[in-house]
Amino acid sequence: MQVSNGQNKYYAESEEVKPLRIKDAERSFLISVEGKKYIDFGSGWCVGNLGWKNPELEKAIKNFNGPTYISPNLEYEPWIELAGLLSKIVPGKLTKCFRATGGTEAVEIALQAAKSYTGREEFIALDGAFHGNSIAAEGLVSDSPYFNWKKLKPPLNEEKLNELEKMLKTKKVAALIMEPISMNLGVMVPEFSFMQGMQDLCRKYGTLIIMDEVATGFGRTGKLFATEYFDIDPDIMCIAKALSGGAAPIGATIMKEEVGESLKKDNYPYSTYGWHPLSVAASIANVRFFQKHWGELQENIQFMNEYFRQRLSQMEFKKPVKMSIVGMAMNLDFGKSDYGEKVTKRALKNGLIVFEGITMFPALDIDFETAKAGLDILEKSL
């Protein structure tokens, strides 16, 4: 296994030593430069929901014969087509779709829209959550010197509503932003009653609800969008990652008509590479794939969810574990112990990729043989 030492001269690596160099990808496998095949239970953190090199997506990209680039001040038919497709599949009454290059930008646009519509400056996010890599997105969740935004601490149950009401009562909060099921907080599921109460309180005090579906969107949790579990009506939704299945960078912020109109008038969020033609072609093919195959995908998710649940519950972990499994999103929490980290490293040596912790996001269409082989490796690595 070729291991870099984290000291590339020109390429700025993240701090940790990268465990392997990837040359190619195929369905639920990643292939290293040495030609070794790894089973991928990570899907690039909720990007490759249809596995890598899905044939229908590949065809759309290979056959793409459109313009190199379109300036945002012009019009492009596929932009209108993609916006129309998205507003039909997202829950609630979200109809105005803004172009973004990825999740962080989609979140930025959502925050700007909420500020513009409400005329307020404050935000509420979940303590320890993640919404992107900009100063604003970081500021939402960290003790940032730039912003004094409010953090709501999980667990999200009915008792938490009192605390939330105190925050909202000031009528200074533009929006509450959260993942409907938090992938970044260990596949954390809020209580249904919290979500209902949260919606009532936000309406009462004029605060908008932003659902960040950047990671949960496109089937990851077993619903097309995780918001659907809670029967709520968000004002703004952010999507990215699996929107193009990893084929090209893209993000989108979809909002209610009146919120979108306010943002358009106030400060239209210009984005040079937002909805690049190639990304749009890949995303249209991706959405159409979901429209055509969602039934089969759901069956596989249900089957695999039960299979993973059963296998994981029978495994003999060497430390106490708290499991959270929703659809094809799985988190094994070993508390403060570094056991998860050790298992992740051993699994990698044995040919399985999972996120440290352990967090797993297998492709929604993974086949039984690959799922079994991956779980066998995990078991062997305990």
Give the x/- contact pattern for ligand PLP in 168-207, rule: CB under 6 A. -----------x----x-----------------------
Shortest spacing between CB 124 and ligand PLP, in angstroms? 15
Both tokens assigned to 92: 């609630």
Place of tokens 């993240």: 14
Complex with ligand PLP: residue 57 or 240, whichever CB lies closer: 240
Determine how many CB atoms are found less than 10 A away from the CB of residue 271: 17
**In whole angstroms, what is the distance from residue 100 CA to residue 135 CA?**
17
Using CA atoms, how far residue 1 sits from 21, 22, 41, 347, 355, in Å, is: 8, 11, 19, 13, 18
Complex with ligand PLP: residue 237 or 375, whichever CB lies closer: 237
Q: Segment near ligand PLP (CB under 6 A), from 22-30, 70-78, 127-135, 259-267?
A: 127-135
- Which of 187, 215, 263, 352: binder of ligand PLP (CB under 6 A)? 215
**In whole angstroms, what is the distance from residue 366 CA to residue 104 CA?**
28
Using CA atoms, how far residue 32 sits from 20, 21, 29, 296, 363, in Å, is: 7, 5, 10, 31, 19
Closest CA to 283 of 20, 38, 7, 49: 49
Q: How many residues contact ligand PLP, by CB under 6 A? A: 15
Complex with ligand PLP: residue 133 or 148, whichever CB lies closer: 133
Place of tokens 């709501």: 152
Considering the rule CB under 6 A, would residue 102 count as an interface residue with ligand PLP?
Answer: yes
Shortest spacing between CB 246 and ligand PLP, in angstroms? 11
Considering the rule CB under 6 A, would residue 64 count as an interface residue with ligand PLP?
Answer: no
- Which of 20, 39, 94, 107: binder of ligand PLP (CB under 6 A)? 107
Considering the rule CB under 6 A, would residue 362 count as an interface residue with ligand PLP?
Answer: no
Place of tokens 């990215």: 240
Q: Segment near ligand PLP (CB under 6 A), from 67-75, 103-111, 169-177, 354-362?
A: 103-111
**In whole angstroms, what is the distance from residue 357 CA to residue 319 CA?**
13
Amino acid symbol at 191: E
- Which of 91, 132, 245, 274: binder of ligand PLP (CB under 6 A)? 132
Complex with ligand PLP: residue 223 or 375, whichever CB lies closer: 223
Using CA atoms, how far residue 280 sits from 106, 212, 255, 367, in Å, is: 15, 20, 19, 28
Q: Return residues touching ligand PLP (CB under 6 A).
A: 45, 102-104, 107, 130-133, 179, 184, 212, 214-215, 240
